[in-house]
Amino acid sequence: MFKGYAADKFYDEMFSPDGKVRPHCEPLHEKFQQIENDDFLSRKATSELYFMRQGITFNVYHDNQGSERIFPFDPVPRVIPADEWELIEAGLTQRITALNLFLNDIYHDQEILKDGVIPRFYIEDAKSFRKEFRGVDVPKDIYIQICGSDLIRGGDGTYYVLEDNARCPSGASYLLENRNALKRAFPALFDSLGVRPVDSYPRDLVNMLNYISPRREGESVCVLLTPGCFNSAYFEHCYLARQMGIEIVEGRDLVVVDKFVYMRTTKGLVRVDVIYRRIDDDFIDPVVFRKDSVLGVPGLMNAYMAGNVALANAVGTGIADDKVIYYFVPKMIEYYLGEKPILPNVPTFLPSEEKDMEYVMKNLPELVVKAANESGGYGMLMGPTASKEEIETFRGLIKADPRNYIAQPVISLSTSPTWCDGAMEGRHIDLRPYIINGETVKIVPGGLTRVALKRGSLVVNSSQGGGSKDTWVLK
Amino acid sequence: MLSRVANTLYWMMRYVERADNLARLIDVNEQLLLDFESLDSQRLSGFWLPIILSTGDESAFSELYDEASSDNVISFLTEDTRNPNSIFSCISLARENARTIRDQLSDELWEEINALYLFAKSDEALKLLEDDPPQFYDIVRRSSMTVLGISASTTARDAVWDFKTLGRYIERADKTTRFLDISTYFPKGATGIDLSSPGVLHWSAILSSCGAMGAFRATGLEINARTVMEFLIYSPDFPRSVRYCISKINATLHRISGASHGTFSTEAERETGKMLASLSFGDPADVLEIGLHNFLDEIQATLNKIAEEVFATYVLLPESIDEIPESNAPSKVSSQARTKQPLQQQQKA
């Protein structure tokens, strides 16, 4: 199976540079060696059929046949040994704790700005900073209840945090369904390897929702708020709601009366206490935010500010997601916790700092440039592969609005053996673990491993040719 | 349960039931035709046209096709997605409804509905329609039945079940009346249909379409217009008779509202109760008096009315609400909120 596999010059998850299998991957490697090619292909097809039958598909737009495709799934799992996972868990726990203290601070007393750790204008000029919510208390002082931080590994295997998705991170259903698909198609792989289960995720999620409920007595009613069935993540919304046993609602199912939120049911109105919202701030309440939004609930912010309903995540967490603020996360960790960051950031340059601007301008063709508020691989410049024109366009953009950009050296992501048209080849991967921040911080052992299926590509986003793998954390 | 979810469950089941009934109808009639190999195209048209007329979709049909030939009628009812009531359309709509409320369905139930949809979209389905139509209709029918079976064995008997049951029996009662109504449009006189024995083959076909042949035989009666009509309208225990369906709708509506039997708390319950009484205590002679077609038309209109009342009571809720209702009884509201939930594809009476 792995004949002719070359780890190239990157950090490979299964093979060390001398071509030997890394010890923690040996049992898995051994099992794959025993699978015949034909058997492998038919099992791979089984896993694809599983996704198709489950309806875990996305629509191909502009195709009036309404054809549906599955997100490519690679059956070779990515394996993380126990000691590495311990480090990741500790690092992410530290990070979410600091991010949460930061949000509570800037939406209240703003000590971190007063102490000059973060220059004030970075916060106040940020589009995602919701000034109107300064002074509003949120249940249990938790802002980011669900975080999906993206981790990558550099050439020496060091884990870096690439970004923190603190708004509505998606993909957790793939974490769960990739495992189910792999178990169905390759049950023998799991024998006695000590793979930690991931199925506690929905339970952790619903426990957290109940924990942040403002209701003092009786059972809380939690719901998941979706933009609706045309949203590309709708499958995930349904899936998670079902796994948690809570209602999935659209904006039109909810109504606000006297600063309380109710849902319309066949038995009349029922009060709602906690909303796991999968709609961005901008669309959540047309009275306060975008007036043209038909997805949200008019008056929801009134109920929220009155403390009658909890939102996960809270309003205004986008500021923690801002790529410029990302630069300051290690400083937050030191400021709020007095600790050294366990997981480092990718080295980052801020063009709005004079010294950095000079460096960025000089080295643009070697750097990756990202817009502060974009995600999904949009608004990005990959210096080494970009054309001269693209580089010049970004040079102009950065000069015109330095606050809106960051620049980073290219980190060449680790590779993992991936089935590509008849052979195993190394493909670049990242890792998105899902952090639930409630009574305690819980991180389900695993995450979504995304893989760039194109040879040499570093872009793992599903919208741009990415696939995914099951992620194994070993006992 | 969310009002929107109730509405979606109800329609999901209606579409599954509709696809199943259409598959039965076409399959039975195709088989029947084999007995009349010598029919010319005009006579064939006399054979298929009643089926289109009974569905109430004749204007949609004549917009799309020139002639009621076998091929045209069959593809209009089967794979033509321009017809919102074709088998393909019903399967897509059932699946689209299912998709929006996936969280309410068991995995097995979703998988079966999705598998039926994937089958209908596949090249295999088109090839079967070409080479072996009975096999195609058999797959649709079996899959619909599997959906019902899985639903029955994996759904808690709560509101989810009740709204699914409503959808199923309202659709089924409607379809049984439409099967019977085909006889209204039979060509009169010696059209070649009476060749073997007068009308019997047609009435047999209607019984078979309803899967009622065995149950009917058990009554020991002869097959003719009167006996078949009586059986499919008045039988108290055959699960596709109109009366049986109405009694299920009646019981389900009472379960939903909690109103005791013999009383009503909503318009839907009142209409259903009235119809059940007239079927339970009525006389088949009533049918002959006003004519079968008119009788069936009235039932279809009442079924549509029941469906609209259910919608008004449980799905529509006021746009703005001044008071929080304390009681469990849903309040009926005026029509200004009717835009919130689209009424789906009800067929004309």
Q: Which tokens in the block code for residue B340? A: 């919130």
Q: Which tokens in the block code for residue A165? A: 């998705």
Of A55, A238, A267, the CB nearest to B103: A238
User: Are A229 and B324 an interchain contact pair (Cβ–Cβ within 8 Å)?
Assistant: no
**A68, A60 Cβ separation under 8 angstroms:** yes
Which tens digits make up the pLDDT trace of A381-420?
988 888 999 999 999 999 999 989 999 999 889 999 999 9
Of A52, A238, A265, the CB nearest to B1: A265
Q: What is the mean pLDDT of residues A200-218?
A: 94
Rg of chain B taking only CA atoms, in angstroms: 21
Q: What is the pLDDT of residue B195?
A: 38
ipTM: 0.76
> In whole angstroms, what is the distance from residue A263 CA to residue A256 CA?
9
Q: What is the pLDDT of residue B218?
A: 93
- The closest alpha carbon to B18, from B235, B168, B151, belongs to B168
Mutation for A interface: B9, B12, B96, B102, most A CBs within 10 A: B102
Q: What is the pLDDT of residue B40?
A: 66
Neighbours of B185 (CB within 10 A): 15
> In whole angstroms, what is the distance from residue A177 CA to residue A197 CA?
12
User: Are B1 and A241 an interchain contact pair (Cβ–Cβ within 8 Å)?
Assistant: no
Q: What is the pLDDT of residue B319?
A: 44
Q: How far is CA B197 from the centre of its chain?
A: 29
User: Are A257 and B328 an interchain contact pair (Cβ–Cβ within 8 Å)?
Assistant: no
User: Are A55 and B324 an interchain contact pair (Cβ–Cβ within 8 Å)?
Assistant: no
User: Are B6 and A249 an interchain contact pair (Cβ–Cβ within 8 Å)?
Assistant: no
Q: Which amino acid is at A296?
A: G
Q: What is the pLDDT of residue B340?
A: 40
Residue A448's beta-bridge partner residues?
Answer: A432
Cβ–Cβ pairs < 8 A, chains A and B: 78
Residues of A in contact with B315 (CB under 8 A): 266
User: Are B330 and A267 an interchain contact pair (Cβ–Cβ within 8 Å)?
Assistant: yes
Q: What is the pLDDT of residue B349?
A: 66
User: Are B103 and A263 an interchain contact pair (Cβ–Cβ within 8 Å)?
Assistant: no
Q: What is the pLDDT of residue B160?
A: 94
Q: What is the pLDDT of residue A60?
A: 59
**A175, A447 Cβ separation under 8 angstroms:** yes
User: Are A238 and B102 an interchain contact pair (Cβ–Cβ within 8 Å)?
Assistant: yes
Chain B positions touching chain A (beta carbons under 8 Å)? 1-6, 96, 99-104, 107, 110-111, 114-115, 118, 159, 163, 256, 314-315, 317, 321-322, 324-325, 327-331, 340
> In whole angstroms, what is the distance from residue B216 CA to residue B227 CA?
9
Closest residue, chain A, to B317 (C-alpha): A264
> In whole angstroms, what is the distance from residue B195 CA to residue B173 CA?
31
Find the DSSP H helices in A245-375. 281-284, 300-305, 318-321, 323-326, 329-332, 354-363
Helix (H, G, I), strand (E, B) or coil at B222: coil
| pLDDT over 90, % of chain A | 74
Helix (H, G, I), strand (E, B) or coil at B191: coil
Question: Which sign does the torsion angle of CA B270, B271, B273, B274 carry?
Answer: positive
User: Are A239 and B103 an interchain contact pair (Cβ–Cβ within 8 Å)?
Assistant: yes
CA distance to partner chain B, nearest, from residue A227 (Å): 11
User: Are B115 and A53 an interchain contact pair (Cβ–Cβ within 8 Å)?
Assistant: yes
Closest residue, chain B, to A228 (C-alpha): B100
Q: What is the pLDDT of residue A191?
A: 80
Rg of chain A taking only CA atoms, in angstroms: 23
Residues of A in contact with B328 (CB under 8 A): 267-268
Beta carbons within 8 Å of B215's beta carbon, 6+ residues apart: B231, B235, B238
Residue spans of chain B under pLDDT 50: 189-198, 318-342
Which tens digits make up the pLDDT trace of A313-363?
999 999 998 999 999 999 999 999 999 999 999 999 999 999 999 999 999
Neighbours of B273 (CB within 10 A): 19
Which tens digits make up the pLDDT trace of B4-42?
999 999 999 999 999 999 999 898 888 777 776 566 666
Q: How far is CA B158 from the centre of its chain?
A: 23
Q: What is the pLDDT of residue B316?
A: 78
Of A234, A238, A266, the CB nearest to B3: A266
Q: What is the pLDDT of residue B50?
A: 82
Residues of A in contact with B107 (CB under 8 A): 54
Of A229, A242, A269, the CB nearest to B325: A269
- Asked whether the predicted pLDDT for residue A196 surpasses 50, the reply is yes
Which tens digits make up the pLDDT trace of A99-114?
999 999 999 999 999 9
- Asked whether the predicted pLDDT for residue A199 surpasses 90, the reply is yes
Q: What is the pLDDT of residue B341?
A: 46
Of A248, A266, A268, the CB nearest to B103: A248
**A11, A431 Cβ separation under 8 angstroms:** no
Find the DSSP H helices in chain B. 3-33, 41-55, 58-64, 70-77, 87-100, 107-121, 123-131, 133-154, 159-181, 200-209, 213-217, 225-234, 242-257, 267-281, 284-290, 292-310
User: Are B324 and A241 an interchain contact pair (Cβ–Cβ within 8 Å)?
Assistant: no
Of B2, B325, B327, the CB nearest to A253: B2
> In whole angstroms, what is the distance from residue B303 CA to residue B243 CA?
12
Phi, psi angle pair for A400, to nearest 5°: -70, -35
**Residues A302, A307, A312, A316: what is their CA dihedral angle, to the nearest 10 degrees?**
60
pLDDT tier for residue A202 given thresholds of 50, 70 and 90: very high
All domains of chain A, ordered by start, with CATH?
A: 354-409 (3.30.1490.270)
User: Are B114 and A264 an interchain contact pair (Cβ–Cβ within 8 Å)?
Assistant: no
Can the peptide bond before residue A104 be classed as cis, meaning omega within 30 degrees of 0?
no
> In whole angstroms, what is the distance from residue A471 CA to residue A414 CA?
14
Helix (H, G, I), strand (E, B) or coil at A294: coil
Q: Which tokens in the block code for residue B153? A: 């064995």
Helix (H, G, I), strand (E, B) or coil at A80: strand
Q: What is the pLDDT of residue B322?
A: 43
Closest residue, chain B, to A226 (C-alpha): B100
Closest residue, chain A, to B103 (C-alpha): A242
Q: How far is CA B171 from the centre of its chain?
A: 3
Judged by average pLDDT, the poorest of A1-10, A150-159, B175-184 is A1-10
Q: Is B238 exposed, middle or buried (0-12, 13-18, 19+ CB in 10 A)?
A: buried
> In whole angstroms, what is the distance from residue A302 CA to residue A282 CA?
15
**Mean pLDDT computed over every residue of chain A:** 91
Mutation for B interface: A49, A267, A269, most B CBs within 10 A: A267
Helix (H, G, I), strand (E, B) or coil at B197: coil
Q: What is the pLDDT of residue B46?
A: 74
Q: Is B53 exposed, middle or buried (0-12, 13-18, 19+ CB in 10 A)?
A: middle
Q: What is the pLDDT of residue B33?
A: 77
Beta carbons within 8 Å of A75's beta carbon, 6+ residues apart: A40, A43, A44, A47, A182, A185, A186, A419, A469, A470
Q: Which tokens in the block code for residue A444? A: 């389900």
